[in-house]
Structure 1
């Protein structure tokens, strides 16, 4: 799945159109979002030039006066359109994505300048989201930032940022972080920069396509950089050893590891030692969790017995003190479980409460996206190759 969002202001010169065309053809773009393109009437040939071939479908909101139009273009073999909503500041396309069951809404947004108009647009999008069930990918030039660090050389509007953040929360959207750039817009002199162009996805997309990432291409002729959304699963190889934080808080873990490590033959290779140690730790953890589960069941039953006595006014002081200590022990066991849950992702946990809900899994995937190393700068050049990243980390740490 590949989506490209561009913001090309005043594409009047043919060289700009050719630049966009080359970009689309070279990267086999499945979806193209253009904003601020001066289109008083729809020019089919211009769309073909931007896309690169005749295999496309589109939806647009034409320009009015000095305001630019919005065009969304996609590959019909990948995304099948069902319905379109258009306005001066958005183009919403409902359809079906190949291989997925739920309906998808592609929302191409161009935020207005006036803060009151922005508030009206945010309210409309939240209402639309609540009235139309499905998976949402919302992208474009929102003309607003989320925090002060998103602007450089220009005034930060606290009210506008607060309204924008409330809109994101109320719409149930999650922002996909930009990997290799900090700002998406820059003026001609380079004295002002802002993060105006963004990609947001709903929790449904976060669950069904957890490996989405956003990268930026070269700026070219526009003052906005093209943003590229794609499924990008980085394979850094097998994880040699995983340690959960909860293990470090369990009594006897350090002594168990020391003893298990000393039992290995000194002539054995490091990889084989770690492999055998991993098996022993796994068995130790399983046994401890089983004991915790049994202990938790007994504690809850004992607390219930004492509370029944308290209701009949026949509980002793020792039992009241036992009840208090049991609550403390239950809390300690629950905290160990919570530490494990925070580190797990893409697993359906069989535990109590609402920790197995869709919202919880969405938060875990969100944290996973932000903690994932998508690439690093090597000698000033962005590099996302897993092997080269691992080699660079090895040389640095050595």
Structure 2
């Protein structure tokens, strides 16, 4: 977006954001904004460049790295972006999302044109994605993200490393409706269907595995008073239950159950890979991130996020 730094900050505030990091446009080329509110998160700007803004988002002991990209349309200048992104790679210790306008496509079906000669895929971009072992998050909504005079392409996307995929299994990228622009807005939802809340306003949710705990029956008997009405009993029981759920024994039980679930899913994936005559035995043992990534990838593909009507909407 082409706008002065002062105007950009003013627009950001009008949109309701308290903080904004800006990379100025060079003429009509480039320009990046990253805006946020830090009510319950801490955002640190790790590095800026004319083609990207690299941020670290912290919430408690958790970290997420997000890199916002505007790759140069000029392939020679864009080529310098890929080694820079290799250098800032946080590895698979932390989730990493790379999002934005890459001005390049990965596959031939991502570009459609009425012209006799069209731009081919960017081999440097494709090679970088493969080397970094990144996965395209896919999309829900209109497939192409840019259009002009009979040309359409999917040059905007969200990429993720294996840690991001395993941490945010249900994450989804939505292509929003076109509005007064030749670009389609992208929305990355880490927890679809959930509105972020502060810990103080988070509603109570009963965790079914609690009933398996040996101490659960005792907790119910000790906290429930027969002479008190139902509403007061429920309110008291919820408070006691929340405090009780934070004990280390319950956390261990939850970790144990998640580990068992992942083992079952992993075994199922190995079986499918073998039936499909996949060379799974050359790609690592049962604990390799290859299979974890493919499990999460299949989950995402099998989810129905939207339905296409006959009228194309």
- TM-score of the superposed pair, with normalisation by structure 2: 0.66
Residues 1:121 and 2:52 aligned together: no
User: 2:94 touches 2:164 (CA, 8 Å); kept in 1?
Assistant: no
SS at match of 1:93: strand
Task: Report the aligned-residue RMSD.
Answer: 2.8
2:48 alignment partner, one of 41, 64, 86? 86
Structure 2, unaligned runs of 5 or more: 195-266, 276-283
Structure number with greater Rg is 1
SS at match of 2:81: helix
Q: How many angstroms apart in 1 are the aligned matches of 2:138 and 2:90? A: 24
What corresponds to 2:199 in structure 1? none
Q: After superposition, where does 1:241-256 map in structure 2 within 5 Å?
A: none
Deviations, residues 336-360 of structure 1 (Å, cap 9, x unaligned): 98325679xxxxxxxxx62222332
Deviations, residues 113-155 of structure 1 (Å, cap 9, x unaligned): 2222222101210122167953211111100011111111154
SS at match of 2:122: helix
Residues 1:172 and 2:133 aligned together: yes
What corresponds to 1:364 in structure 2? 295
Q: How many angstroms apart in 1 are the aligned matches of 2:7 and 2:47? A: 17
1:70 alignment partner, one of 32, 36, 41? 32
Q: Call closer, same or farther: CA 1:370–1:82 in 2, change over 3 Å.
A: same
Q: How many angstroms apart in 2 are the aligned matches of 1:86 and 1:132? A: 22
What corresponds to 1:139 in structure 2? 99
2:308 alignment partner, one of 346, 358, 377? 377
User: 1:216 touches 1:227 (CA, 8 Å); kept in 2?
Assistant: yes
User: 1:59 touches 1:84 (CA, 8 Å); kept in 2?
Assistant: no
Q: How many angstroms apart in 2 are the aligned matches of 1:223 and 1:215? A: 17
Q: Call closer, same or farther: CA 1:340–1:43 in 2, change over 3 Å.
A: closer
What corresponds to 2:11 in structure 1? 46
Q: Call closer, same or farther: CA 1:43–1:163 in 2, change over 3 Å.
A: closer
User: 1:102 touches 1:135 (CA, 8 Å); kept in 2?
Assistant: no
SS at match of 2:38: coil
Residues 1:213 and 2:172 aligned together: yes
Q: How many angstroms apart in 2 are the aligned matches of 1:79 and 1:369? A: 27
Deviation at 1:37, TM superposition (A): 3.3
Higher relative contact order (CA 8 A, sep 6+): 1
Q: Call closer, same or farther: CA 1:336–1:59 in 2, change over 3 Å.
A: closer
Structure holding more helix per residue: 1
Structure 1, unaligned runs of 5 or more: 1-35, 235-334, 344-352, 383-398
Q: How many angstroms apart in 2 are the aligned matches of 1:143 and 1:92? A: 18
Q: How many angstroms apart in 2 are the aligned matches of 1:338 and 1:163? A: 32
Q: How many angstroms apart in 2 are the aligned matches of 1:127 and 1:354? A: 28
What corresponds to 2:198 in structure 1? none
Deviations, residues 198-221 of structure 1 (Å, cap 9, x unaligned): 011111110111001111221111
What corresponds to 2:22 in structure 1? 60
SS at match of 1:129: coil
Residues 1:355 and 2:286 aligned together: yes
Deviation at 1:48, TM superposition (A): 1.3
Residues 1:224 and 2:183 aligned together: yes
User: 2:22 touches 2:34 (CA, 8 Å); kept in 1?
Assistant: yes
